[in-house]
């Protein structure tokens, strides 16, 4: 037994820091103000979704109360959040 079983494989790559930088979620929250068409159009224009993806996010948000519409680094998500907020949508980053 003499070896320490907690030693790491020297060839293993640690993805922890890389993952932490990218593990942010742009969350769209349901509201009783915006129409489905407005939400779908906004997701297409701001987040680059295709119409099917935007429609699915709108329906998930409506039925579950929220939906993560984009995953990525803060530098990418912050301008998207601002663009959606300017369109009257309720959006957070987690």
Per-residue model confidence as pLDDT tens digits over 37-59 = 999 999 999 999 999 999 999 99
Residue 41, domain member (yes or no) = yes
Residue 11, domain member (yes or no) = no
CATH, residue 70: 3.30.1390.10
Residue 62, domain member (yes or no) = yes
Long-range CB pairs of 51-58, under 8 A, 24+ apart, other chains included: 57/28
pTM score, whole prediction? 0.76
Mean confidence (pLDDT) of the chain: 86
- Tell me the average pLDDT across 5-28: 61
Q: Look up the domain containing 34 and give its range.
A: 23-93
Q: Quote the number of domains for the chain.
A: 1
Residue 17, domain member (yes or no) = no
Residue 56, domain member (yes or no) = yes
- Give the span between the Cα atoms of 77 and 62, in whole angstroms: 21
pLDDT at 8: 47
Say if residue 17's pLDDT is above 80.
no
- pLDDT band, very low/low/confident/very high, at 31 (cuts 50, 70, 90): very high
Residue 7, domain member (yes or no) = no
Residue 80, domain member (yes or no) = yes
Residue 6, domain member (yes or no) = no
């Amino acid at each position: 037994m003499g070896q320490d079983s907690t030693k790491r494989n020297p060839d293993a790559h640690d993805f922890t820091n890389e993952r932490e930088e990218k593990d942010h979620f742009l969350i769209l929250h349901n509201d009783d103000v915006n129409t489905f068409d407005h939400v779908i159009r906004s997701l297409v224009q701001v987040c680059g979704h295709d119409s099917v993806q935007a429609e699915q996010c709108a329906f998930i948000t409506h039925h579950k109360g929220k939906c993560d519409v984009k995953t990525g680094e803060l530098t990418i998500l912050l301008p998207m959040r601002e663009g959606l907020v300017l369109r009257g949508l309720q959006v957070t980053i987690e």
